[in-house]
Structure 1
Amino acid sequence: MGQIILNVVGLFSMILLGYVMKRMAILSKADGSILSKIILNITLPAAIILNLAQMEIQVEALSLIFIAVVITIGQIVIACLMTRKENNALQQFAMYCGSGFNIGNFAIPFAQSFYPLGIPLISLFDMGNSIMLAGGTTVLIEFILKKRTSFEPGKILLNLLRSPTFTVYLLMLLIRSVDWHLPDAFLGLVQPIGLANTFLSMFMIGLFLDFRLPKHTTKTVINILVLRYGSAVVLCSLFYLLPIPMLLKPVLCLLVFAPIPLFGVINAVLAGMEEEAVGFVSSASFLISMPLMTMVLIIFGLA
């Protein structure tokens, strides 16, 4: 238990350091945006390569890709129903921030401190998650709101391939499918870059923390948090009780509690939602997810 506390305190300290640096005006949210580009394009792909370099492909584990897509679609539909009486901006706010999971910038760095053996499975789930975040979610929401009448899979595929994270996932999956091993010299070059991902991701979260909330968005923010964590409790209970492979259970139970993804935040702002409201619900989800994900690992005896 002592090691668990130390790990949680260590991760929280990284977040707190980023927040303090912002409050002291040494750094700003703009610096967080720069960090996010470094993470998404450099350190996270490097961490993925390291984490999947020795992965053994198991057919049953590939179902995680499909499960991630199905869960996200369910979240979007429920968010739409919960906010059907709200205006267009609030409804999109709920659908974007109520769906998807922050895996690359939170769940993977988090799991590296507690459950490194689960990283390959978490990465497979993130492939499905990336399919939605990189285009699938926007297409579905626009269909629901009748802003789109045609389905263009080519554009979605192009957006996916533009994502360094998804492209590296795909390449590593193909490489390990044929049981090809990357050279040790290459992995040695990638290792220090990948190891920096945890600190940079947590520090960036601290820079983005925001606790200002416009009053007229309070109800929608509550709906988003109830949706995310209420559905997470239900899904975690189902995964725990259902006769699914034991290697998948802890990963699924862990990931359903992951916080709001960065793409959800960006898309909600682009849809016309105030940055303060989006920043508040995103910040709250980070602070709620950390203890809940730790609890899951304790329940499964993994931390």
Structure 2
Amino acid sequence: MNQLAIAEKIFSNLSVIFLGYLIKRLKLLPEGAGDVLSKFILYVTLPATIINVFLNSKLYAQFFILPLISIFLGIFTFVLGYILVRKVHLDSKTKWTLIISICGYNVGLFAFPFIQQVYGNKGLITMAMFDMGNSFIVFGLAYGISFLASEGEKINFSAIIKKVLCFFPLDIYVLSIFINITGIQFPELLKEMISQLAVPNGVLALFTIGYFLDFKLSRDELKALAIGVFVKFLPGLLLLLFVILAFSTKSLLVKILTIGALLPTPMVAVIYSIDRGLNVKLSSVLVTVTIMFSIIFMMAIMLLWR
């Protein structure tokens, strides 16, 4: 795909994000519409997309390194952030909000539509494997850390394990890999239904991202925001530099891995902040700002690494 075609697809996706933001500002949808949209994507269109991709794509052995790398990146970012944030003069709630918000990446809602548009099903299945490891970070590590944010509350390991095992998209990943490896065939009617449910995922995901965008920044949060953005993207930028020096940037696996390491803060960070009484405004703004940075990084990789 040439640069013009890639640029057109990126512009088209950005237009959908802007539309979501505009509709929110105009208050054309009822309050709580964003939550409904995100849950519909999480439990309907995203699982359908995952199954559809694995049913129609070949799974290569080298793909299984991606979940491990994703987990390593998540743990490394957490450790780096924990060390740096502890040394900065911030209130306790702000510190814990930052630590939770830097764990993991927004893959299903943010990256999938871009990846599918530019790299097709092969790119999507590669990113899906990266997201498998990311799910353990977002719904395991970050969820566990959220318990530490509540003073005097011990980590509830059973709740964390249950959260990870019961995360529906992760279960769909595992099931889809099993189906792909064993070669189980679905009836044509069922395959068609799954395919139809997967169609609106890209547009809905991008629209929902735009709907959740929040550009309201206060002076008191700028310092914390700068630290969060720095820690969030430092591992990915280091990986980017390493990849440029050591590997061919024409490899799809390398492209997907690099893009994955530069994805934004997952929206679930806002949910955890609400549940634990943390700085919800900061987590929301961090999601917004990291999305803008990720769009820039993703566009650069897609346009320059042809």
Fold in common (TM above 0.5)? yes
Cα offset for 1:59?
2.8
For 2:78 and 2:274, how far apart are their aligned partners in 1? 17
Superimposed CA distance per residue, residues 241-276 of structure 1 (whole angstroms, 9 cap, x where no aligned partner): 346994521111111111111122222333333333
What residue number does 1:264 align with?
269
Superimposed CA distance per residue, residues 62-106 of structure 1 (whole angstroms, 9 cap, x where no aligned partner): 111111111111111111122113322111111122221000001
Cα offset for 1:143?
6.2
Structure 2 residue matching 1:83: 3-state secondary structure: helix
Question: What does 1:267-286 align with in structure 2 at a 5 Å threshold?
Answer: 267-286=272-291
Cα offset for 1:149?
6.0
Give the alignment partner of residue 43 of structure 1, picking from 39, 42, 45: 45
Contact 2:105 2:265 in 1 (8 A): yes
For 1:58 and 1:144, how far apart are their aligned partners in 2? 40
With structure 1 as the length reference, what TM-score do the two structures score? 0.90
What residue number does 1:293 align with?
298
Cα offset for 1:237?
1.8
Contact 1:69 1:131 in 2 (8 A): yes
Contact 2:20 2:207 in 1 (8 A): yes
1:248 matches 2:242: no
Cα offset for 1:300?
2.4
For 2:147 and 2:24, how far apart are their aligned partners in 1? 35
Structure 1 residues 140 and 243, CA gap change in structure 2 (3 angstroms): farther
Structure 2 residue matching 1:260: 3-state secondary structure: coil
What residue number does 2:239 align with?
235
Question: What is the one-letter code of the residue matched to 1:52?
Answer: F
Structure 1 residues 69 and 29, CA gap change in structure 2 (3 angstroms): farther
For 2:137 and 2:112, how far apart are their aligned partners in 1? 18
Cα offset for 1:203?
0.7
For 1:155 and 1:60, how far apart are their aligned partners in 2? 32
For 1:16 and 1:143, how far apart are their aligned partners in 2? 36
Kindly tell me the number of residue pairs found equivalent between the two proteins. Answer: 300
Contact 2:103 2:138 in 1 (8 A): no
Question: What does 1:90-239 align with in structure 2 at a 5 Å threshold?
Answer: 90-116=94-120, 117-140=122-145, 142=147, 152=157, 154-239=158-243
Question: What is the one-letter code of the residue matched to 1:226?
Answer: F
Cα offset for 1:156?
3.4
For 2:73 and 2:289, how far apart are their aligned partners in 1? 21
RMSD of Structure 2 on Structure 1 (CA): 2.3
Cα offset for 1:291?
2.2
What residue number does 2:66 align with?
64
Structure 1 residues 145 and 26, CA gap change in structure 2 (3 angstroms): closer
What are the ranges of 5 or more consecutive residues in structure 1 without an aligned counterpart? none
Structure 1 residues 247 and 205, CA gap change in structure 2 (3 angstroms): closer
